[in-house]
Structure 1
Amino acid sequence: MDPIYARYCAYVRSIVQKRDLTNFKRRPSYTYMLEHVSPVLGEKYFNELKTTFKMSNADIYSFCARNDRIGSPMLASYDGLVVSPSSLRYICHAALALSHCRRIGTLNPSFVELGCGYGGLALAIAHYAPMFGVTVKSYTMIDLDEPSALQAEYMNNHKVPFPISLQRASTYGKDVQGTDNFLLSSYCFSEIEPPNQQEYLRVLFPKCSHGFILWNCCKIFDIGKEITVEPEVPLTCDPNSPNLNYHVYF
């Protein structure tokens, strides 16, 4: 395992074993990997939610209050709302995915997420699906063992109106059922090692007819789907980087 993931997994293992989620969202051992959206970037997400998705302050705060009550995240103020900038990112990513569902007429999706953090995107999708006219059929979370354990612990603190299943990354989606799933991946699929990418392309991707991928770190390559590529908004990488970040839809 890459040392950067090994360190992350070791910390996640420790908090899950203690069943102590008190302040993990602000601990350096966690925030070097996740939950590190800056207040300035958070403002860009906030503005995107207001302008593109026409969300009210109440719409935004309703999720942040729910998500921010666990883990003691770092907070910032936006138009009087004191919330986690990372929660704003989850809302934005959920809105992008749900908008794509509505655009393609997939209103009863079975989501499969690859690389799920603590479960923030799943929770945001559960929260906002009704706003987009979407009723989620099921949600599968694929990850390394330690993050999967954290997701189980975190999601046990929340009620969502659909079944959630957790699957090991080492299976590459072998146990995912059906061929009409909707794939989600925020900064995971494009980051993992090429041999692992190829296994997911071989095993999981044929089971997903549609999807939304936040693509970073490398040039976009053939995933065996007819894709639509848009620049990431707001852009979260160095604008002078040779490989920018993108929204990839299929």
Structure 2
Amino acid sequence: MNSQPLSLVILWHMHQPFYEDLVTGEYILPWVRLHAVKDYYDMAAILDKFPEVRLNFNLVPSLFVQIEDYVSKREKISDKFLNLTLKDPSDLNLDERVFILQNFFMADWDNMIKPYRRYHDLLLKRGRFVSSSELVKVARRFSAAELMDLQVWFNLTWFGFIYKNEDPVVVELLKKGKNFTAEDKKAVIDKQFEIMGKVIPKYRSLAERGQIELTTTPFYHPILPLLCDTNAAREAMPYAQ
């Protein structure tokens, strides 16, 4: 038996597909923004505390192009989830209320919703598993104040552990927990863009000082089964568009 130690390389894969609708210019899903805030920044920034640790990252171009787009367009970016976050809850029409109730609980329930009493209470009021027709009825029962709290919580819960534990604004909002204001909501979104602006410079600085090594992949990170048949996505996601 060979007693030589095994050389093991762990390669952290950072990937998001292209979510921008190239016809309308609107980002139809929020995952570039939210994962940049929760994961992509923290995974790199934590290395400042552990200078002897070396990591390897695979960075997909489609992800970083979208991060750059968010940061450069800041006030002009069109992101459906962001647009409905920023809208005054009193001005939301019924379809928009339904959309928020259907989509603003898209987070790991056990780790990102249940630990926060107000957010969990809002989930229970909506119902854990509700049909589209039921959501229309439920949406009429949500007050503007409850929708405001939901708008804030959906974005607040996506901060990573560094900002949740060390940033005074985020820490204070987590303590507040409910009865959020438009100013609170703006503070959350401002922090999101602050973090997104730090992501690429952080990876660059870590690479320049030799603490990380980087690889990349084809621009859109093509997935072979989808190249063969784009309808294959509906095997796992029947209602995908």
**Superposition TM-score tier, normalisation by shorter sequence:** under 0.3
Higher relative contact order, chain-length normalized (CA < 8 Å, sep 6+): 2
Compute the TM-score of the two structures, normalised by the length of structure 2. Answer: 0.26
Q: Greater helix share, 1 or 2?
A: 2
Instruction: Tell which structure's C-alpha radius of gyration is larger.
Output: 2
